[in-house]
Amino acid sequence: MRYAVLGTGSVGRTLAAKLDSLGHQVTIGTRDPGATLARTEPDSMGNEPFAKWQAEHGTVRLAAFADAAAGSETVVNTTSGMASLRALESAGAANLAGKVVIDVANPLDFSQGFPPSLAPVDTDSLGEQIQRAFPGARVVKTLNTMTAAVMVDPARVPGEHSVFVSGEDAEAKAAVTALLTSFGWPASSVIDLGGIETARGTEMLLPLWLRLMGALGHADFNFHIAGARPAV
Of the residues 58, 98, 113, 217, which one makes contact with a second copy according to CB under 8 A: 217
Contact yes or no for 96/75 (Cβ under 8 A): yes
Residue 28 Cβ vs a second copy, minimum distance, rounded to whole Å = 28
Q: Are 179 and 202 in contact (CB under 8 A)?
A: no
Does residue number 80 form part of the binding site for a second copy (CB under 8 A)? no
- Which one of 160, 168, 174, 182 is in contact with a second copy (CB under 8 A)? 160
Q: Which is nearer to a second copy, 36 or 142 (CB)?
A: 142
Helix/strand/coil for 103:
strand
Q: Which of 123, 140, 142, 144 binds a second copy (CB under 8 A)?
A: 123
> Could you tell me the smallest distance in angstroms from the CB atom of residue 84 to a second copy?
18
Does 191 bind a second copy (CB under 8 A)? Our answer is yes
Element (H, E) at 148: helix 148-151
Q: What is the separation, in whole angstroms, between the first and last Cα of the chain?
A: 36
Q: Are strands 61-64 and 25-30 parallel, antiparallel or unpaired?
A: parallel
Residue 159, number of CB atoms within 10 A of its CB:
6
Binding residues for a second copy, rule: CB under 8 A, are 117-118, 121-123, 157-161, 164, 191-194, 198, 200-202, 204-205, 207-212, 214-218, 220-232
